Each structure stands twice: as structure tokens, then as C-alpha cells.
Amino acid sequence: MSSNRLFITTPIYYVNDKPHIGHAYTTIAGDVIARAHRMFGGEAYYLTGTDEHGSKVAESAAAAGVAPQAFCDVQSALFRAAWDQLLIKYDDFIRTTDDRHKRGVVRFLQRLHAAKSPDGHPVIYPGTYSGLYCVGCEKFITEKELVNGKCPHHLKEPVKVTEKNYFFRLRSYSARVGALIEQGTILVNPPERKAEVLGLIKHGLDDFSLSREKVKWGIPLPFDSSQNTYVWVEALQNYITAPGYADDRERFDHWWTHGHVLHLMAKDILKFHAVFWPAMLLAAGEKTPHELFVHGFFTVNGEKMSKSLGNAIDPTAMVVTYGADAARYLLLVQFPFGVDGDIQAERFPERYNADLANDLGNLTSRVVKFCERIGGTVPEPGKLEAVDRALLVAGKKAVDGMREALEQRNLLAMIGAPMGLVREANRYFDASAPWQLQKEGKEERLRTTLYVSLEAIRVAAALLSPVLPTKSLDIRRAVGVAADRLEPTGGELEHLRALQPGAPVGIGDPVFPRIDKKGKAVDIQSPPSDADGQTETEGLIDIDDFGKVQLVVAEVIEAERVEGADRLLRLKVKVGSEERPLVAGIAEHYEPEALIGRRVIIVKNLKPATIRGVESRGMLLAAKKGKKLTLVTTDGEIPSGASVG
């Protein structure tokens, strides 16, 4: 097995549902892993697809008044369209109604049918399945599923049905599967899922029925055409029918037999993947998968996502609101990979603004715009100082951190590594204060600072490319990466690909425009007249937010102009005993000295912003008409720190 050759799969999704963010999460995760693996020089094959047989699909087709195949064609296309919109670069999309799949299933079942278990019994044997059957659901139902003895969906008592089926001799394989999992030959992660599977096996699992007599929409058993393959048994086989199990053994061996097979899924389908699937593969004489990563299961605003509740979040709607790159980012950063959680869509805008618009987008704008103003090319760096080297080393560490996170399938850390670098670059840029260097004529330091900042952005953007494929390209072009070097590579190559002084830099619209709480773009990142790429603080709060706004009296204790920005004053204000910095666009209306000692009203609980490299914590209130502006003040008895309401 070559771990450099990664075969990544998602579950194949049922076509009786529409794609929602649960499906999207797995599919984006697989895409990010595949892209990152390739970025670090590995070979990857990324497979997804749709599960199209079984009674549920047949019923949905009947309800829609169309033939099952026509129904599947339409529904499967919905998944592909969603994945296209989310920039999923799959290498293969398997449908269980594909001929290659049907041929592969027949072949696999023939193998199983001919096989003997290690204890000398046929692996497949006929038997009778006896159980409770809900005619409404057209499927077997367990005692546990009943509510007051009735099917919860149809409110009818099920009938006892006895059906002839074929069984798979799981009992002859489950201990062996357990041992493979225990010793890590089949890795099941996170560890609590491994414990869950081992618990199931220890508890004892019965042989399972691998065919259905009554379900007509499916693949007939090759040895008894009166029965169709049970949809679950058939679906698992997509993982081998796609790489060529039916008729391309070479390709099949390349990916399945000699690749590192990684199955992604949520915990709802763990037992099928961790026990049934390896057992069937062992019986058929094929390799078992190497790794199962079971990510978290999500609820939406505390509720299970379901068709009937109509609360499933449509990932393509997220693309419309945030753009594809940001939608991918927002879904992945919700929770650590592997952990369950509740998705609250109203938090998306906040996260978008904080991470993408402010940290990443604004840094890029500020640095590139500065370079544009002093020549429009990557500046030639001078002698590196400790601070410069520290940021370049942080870039190298981010590359290593990302590689390590990828190996651990820690998607949050894969994003955290470059985003940590972005935050460090922001601090470096602010602390280096290039506008100050320019004012003081320290030309070499200025060039070095800008070069090192651009370089940090280049590395961060390259590392973010698996998550933000198109924005990463935009950012790397903006900071001067040459067209023939845009394909990102990790590891050692990073420093060899450093930016070339003299390469053109340039940025148009913000890479991630700021948005309001409804996800609508707000034009506050468009630069003020001095074109420094900064945001104005006015306009951040909607009228319906007003109740949340904390207004307080603040006393101005320091005030000065911000160099190079005609409209900005840098203030220090006192709120009770606390001092805080604040940048205000009032320089055209007030002389700094005239403000000292004035008691003004500020918004206290505004998110901090960095304006012109100066932290601003709060916003002044002012009355404005045309070109006239007057600060709202409370000169008189009211002390600073008092609340305003």
C-alpha cells in the first residue's frame, strides 16, 4: 500500500433527498483532503456519487409520477450541480444505476456465492427472514421503531411477514474484522467511533440478509433472479465498482489494492462501513479499507435536519450568499472534524466578516494597495531583521502544521495553520507601520516590510487553496505570484517559490467584501479617498440591532491626525477607568486639540477593527448633514463610563 496514493470516498447519497449541508460537509471535506494531498505531492482519486436503488427511491418516483430511472436521473443531477457550484473536484461520480456498477455487483456476488467461510461453510446461504413489516413503508420494521405498537409514520400495526432471503455469514467474519480494527489495520477514527464498533462486535452481530424479495427496484441476484440485492449491500460495492472491479483490474488494483483507501462518512452509517463492508471484502478475497473517518453529525438550530421539518440548509443557497469559497470555509470551520454540533446559520456572516473579510481580505488589500501606491510591483527586500525572519519562519511552520494536520485528518487545524499565519502577518504589518516608515523616509525597511508581508500572504493563500480554490488564486495573483507558479505546492518547495521582486502586484475589488447580518454585501471595504484599503466604521449596525448597542459616555484624552489619511483622527478615550484607542473619520471637522477633554458618546460593544494599522475599539456618535458634522457630546455633569439610553 502506498500512503502517497490516496483513494478518498464519500458515502453515495440517497437520491430521494436533495443535497443539504450534511451531504455538503462530507463532500467538501473529501475535496479538501484530496486537494491538500495533491498539493503535498501525493496522488489522489476522489470518488462520490448517488445511491439510487431500493424501495424508498421507488416510492418517491411513484409519488412524483415518473419511472424510477427518470426520477434518479433528475435527482442525481441535483447532487452533481450542487457539487459543481461548491467547486468540488471529484475524479469520479458513481451512480448505482450505472452499468459498470451493476456488472461489478454481479461479479462480487458471484464471488461471495462461490466462497466458503474460514470455518468451511458457504458464505451466502438461503434462509427465511421473519419480521414485522409495515405495508405503508414497504419495509421491515423493528420492535424498537414502533410507537405504541404502531409504525410511527403510518400509525398502523405492522404485519408479521416471513420472506425467503439470502444471508451473509457475518458471524464467521466479525471477530476477524474486530481484530483488524483493534490493531489498526483498519483505522477507525475518532477513537470513540472505534470503541463503538468494537462494542458492537463484542456484543455479537447476527448474519444479515443481503437480498429482498419484495423490493423490485434493484439489482437481481446473479444466482436467483427472484431476489434483488439489498440496497445497503449493493451500495457499499460502489467503492470497488467505481475504480474498475467489473472490468478494469489494473485500475482497480492501482487504487483499491495498492492505494490508501479512506472512507469518509458520519456516524449514522458506521456499522455498515466498519463491519459489514470489511467482512464482505474478506469473504471475497479483497483488501479491506485502511481508514474510516467518521465526522460529526449536525443538527440545525437544535433540530435534526429533515424533509418534514423543512429545516435543511441548502448548500447552493450558501453559495449564492457567500460565494463558493466562503461557503466551503464556513461549513468546515463550524466544529472540529469528527465532533457533532448544532449549525446556526445566523452566525455565518459574523464568522465570514471576522476571518475572511477582515483577517484575510483586508490584510491582502492593505498590503497590495500600499505596494500599488509605491510602484505596483513586489518590492526588492533589504536586510532582514529578526521580526521579518520570524514571519518567514512562521510561514514555514504553517506549511509543516498543515501537512501534519492533513495526516491526522484534522480539517480545522488544516485551516488553522494558514489562518494563524494570516493573523501573525496582520500583527507584523501593524507593528511595522509601513506608513510611518514611508513618512520617515526609511525606504529599505519599507520595501522589506512590504516584501515580507506579501510573502506571508502568498504562503497562507497557497495553503488555503484546498478550501478556497478560486480566492486563493485571486490572492496569489494579487501579491505577484507568476502565472506559471499558481499551482500551489507545499513543503520544501515553498521557499523556492518565493515572490520575485519586480513582479506586478494589484488588487481590484475586495477579495471578500464585508457583508451584513443577512449576508448582503456592504460597501464598507471600498476605500476612502486616500485609498488605503481601510474600512470606515460608519454603517456597521443595522437598525434592528439597535437594542443590542451599548452606548456610553467617553472622555477624549488624546487626539492626533493619522498620517496620510485626511479624514481620520486617532483618539484615546476614557470609559470609566478604562482607556481605549479609537479611530474616527472626523479630521475634516475637528482639530485634534479641540477634542481633548470633551465627553463624547461612543458605541462600546462594537467589534474591534484595525484602521490604518491602529486598533479601534468603539465608534463615535455624530450628527451629520451634508458636509457638516457635529459630535454628540454630554459636556456637563455626566462622567465618562455612564451609559446612554
Residues with active-site annotation? 20, 23, 134, 137, 151, 154, 304, 307
Minimum distance of ligand ME8 from residue 3's CB (angstroms): 23
Which grid cell sits at 202? 463484542
Q: For the segment 289-328, give every residue that binds ligand ME8 (CB under 6 A).
A: 297-298, 305
Taking the C-alpha atoms of residue 426 and residue 87, their distance in angstroms, rounded to an integer, is 28
In the complex with ligand ME8, the residue whose CB is nearer, 25 or 71, is 25
Q: Which residue has the cell 470555509?
A: 329
In the complex with ligand ME8, the residue whose CB is nearer, 236 or 262, is 236
Q: What H or E segment, with its residue span, contains residue 293?
A: strand 291-295
Q: Binder to ligand ME8 among 6, 8, 12, 318 (CB under 6 A)?
A: 12
**What are the DSSP calls for 557-586, one per residue?**
EEEEEPTT-TT-EEEEEEETTEEEEEEES-
In the complex with ligand ME8, the residue whose CB is nearer, 101 or 447, is 101
In the complex with ligand ME8, the residue whose CB is nearer, 17 or 455, is 17
- Segment contacting ligand ME8 by CB under 6 A, of 14-22, 34-42, 68-76, 163-171: 14-22
Distance between alpha carbon 596 and the CA centroid of its chain, in Å? 48
Taking the C-alpha atoms of residue 296 and residue 336, their distance in angstroms, rounded to an integer, is 8
Residue closest to 467 by CA, chosen among 317, 331, 315, 313? 331
Length, in residues, of the chain = 645
Q: Binder to ligand ME8 among 7, 11, 188, 230 (CB under 6 A)?
A: 11
How far CA 417 is from CA of 392, 424, 479, 485, in Å, comes to: 14, 11, 20, 22
Is the bond into 190 cis (omega within 30 degrees of 0)? yes
Which residues, including other chains, have CB under 8 Å from residue 443's CB and lie 6 or more apart?
437
Q: Binder to ligand ME8 among 58, 235, 398, 552 (CB under 6 A)?
A: 235
Task: Decide if 447 contacts 379 (C-beta within 8 A).
Answer: yes
Taking the C-alpha atoms of residue 61 and residue 54, their distance in angstroms, rounded to an integer, is 11
Residue closest to 487 by CA, chosen among 32, 39, 86? 39
- Segment contacting ligand ME8 by CB under 6 A, of 8-16, 112-120, 458-466, 629-637: 8-16
Minimum distance of ligand ME8 from residue 600's CB (angstroms): 48
Work out whether 367 is an interface residue with ligand ME8 (CB under 6 A): no
Work out whether 395 is an interface residue with ligand ME8 (CB under 6 A): no
Task: Decide if 614 contacts 587 (C-beta within 8 A).
Answer: no
Which grid cell sits at 478? 494579487
Minimum distance of ligand ME8 from residue 519's CB (angstroms): 22
Task: Decide if 286 contacts 241 (C-beta within 8 A).
Answer: no
Q: Binder to ligand ME8 among 269, 392, 433, 493 (CB under 6 A)?
A: 269
Looking at residue 186, what DSSP letter applies?
A: S
Minimum distance of ligand ME8 from residue 315's CB (angstroms): 12
Which grid cell sits at 317? 443557497
In the complex with ligand ME8, the residue whose CB is nearer, 313 or 368, is 313
Q: What H or E segment, with its residue span, contains residue 226?
A: strand 224-229
Work out whether 23 is an interface residue with ligand ME8 (CB under 6 A): yes
Q: For the segment 51-110, give every residue that binds ligand ME8 (CB under 6 A).
A: 51
Task: Decide if 614 contacts 548 (C-beta within 8 A).
Answer: no
Minimum distance of ligand ME8 from residue 505's CB (angstroms): 41
In the complex with ligand ME8, the residue whose CB is nearer, 298 or 590, is 298
Q: Which residue has the cell 510561514?
A: 395
- Segment contacting ligand ME8 by CB under 6 A, of 17-25, 251-259, 462-470, 531-539: 17-25
Distance between alpha carbon 635 and the CA centroid of its chain, in Å? 51
- Find the distance separating the first CA and the last CA of the chain, reported in whole Å: 68
Residue closest to ligand ME8 when measured from CB atoms: 22
- Segment contacting ligand ME8 by CB under 6 A, of 6-14, 278-286, 314-322, 426-434: 6-14
Minimum distance of ligand ME8 from residue 139's CB (angstroms): 15
Minimum distance of ligand ME8 from residue 247's CB (angstroms): 21
Count of residues that bind ligand ME8 according to CB under 6 A: 20
In the complex with ligand ME8, the residue whose CB is nearer, 11 or 178, is 11
Q: For the segment 27-56, give every residue that binds ligand ME8 (CB under 6 A).
A: 51
Minimum distance of ligand ME8 from residue 266's CB (angstroms): 4
Minimum distance of ligand ME8 from residue 242's CB (angstroms): 11
Minimum distance of ligand ME8 from residue 564's CB (angstroms): 49
**What are the DSSP calls for 361-399, one per residue?**
IIHHHHHHHHHHHTTSBPPPP-S--HHHHHHHHHHHHHH
Q: Binder to ligand ME8 among 6, 8, 26, 38 (CB under 6 A)?
A: 26
Q: Which residue type, as a one-letter code, is found at position 408? A: Q
Which residues, including other chains, have CB under 8 Å from residue 116's CB and lie 6 or more apart?
122, 123
Task: Decide if 611 contacts 538 (C-beta within 8 A).
Answer: no
Q: Binder to ligand ME8 among 8, 22, 409, 457 (CB under 6 A)?
A: 22
Task: Decide if 581 contacts 570 (C-beta within 8 A).
Answer: yes
Q: Which residue type, as a one-letter code, is found at position 424? A: E
Work out whether 279 is an interface residue with ligand ME8 (CB under 6 A): no
Minimum distance of ligand ME8 from residue 25's CB (angstroms): 5
Work out whether 236 is an interface residue with ligand ME8 (CB under 6 A): yes
Work out whether 234 is an interface residue with ligand ME8 (CB under 6 A): no
**What are the DSSP calls for 128-172, one per residue?**
EEEEEEETTTTEEE-GGG-BTTB-TTT-SPPEEEEEEEEEE-GGG
- Segment contacting ligand ME8 by CB under 6 A, of 7-15, 241-249, 441-449, 578-586: 7-15
Site string for ligand ME8, 247-266 (x = CB under 6 A): ------------------xx
In the complex with ligand ME8, the residue whose CB is nearer, 27 or 449, is 27
Work out whether 17 is an interface residue with ligand ME8 (CB under 6 A): yes
In the complex with ligand ME8, the residue whose CB is nearer, 48 or 432, is 48
Helices (H) and strands (E) in the chain, counts: 21, 27
Interface positions with ligand ME8 (CB under 6 A): 11-14, 17, 22-23, 25-26, 51, 235-236, 238, 265-266, 268-269, 297-298, 305
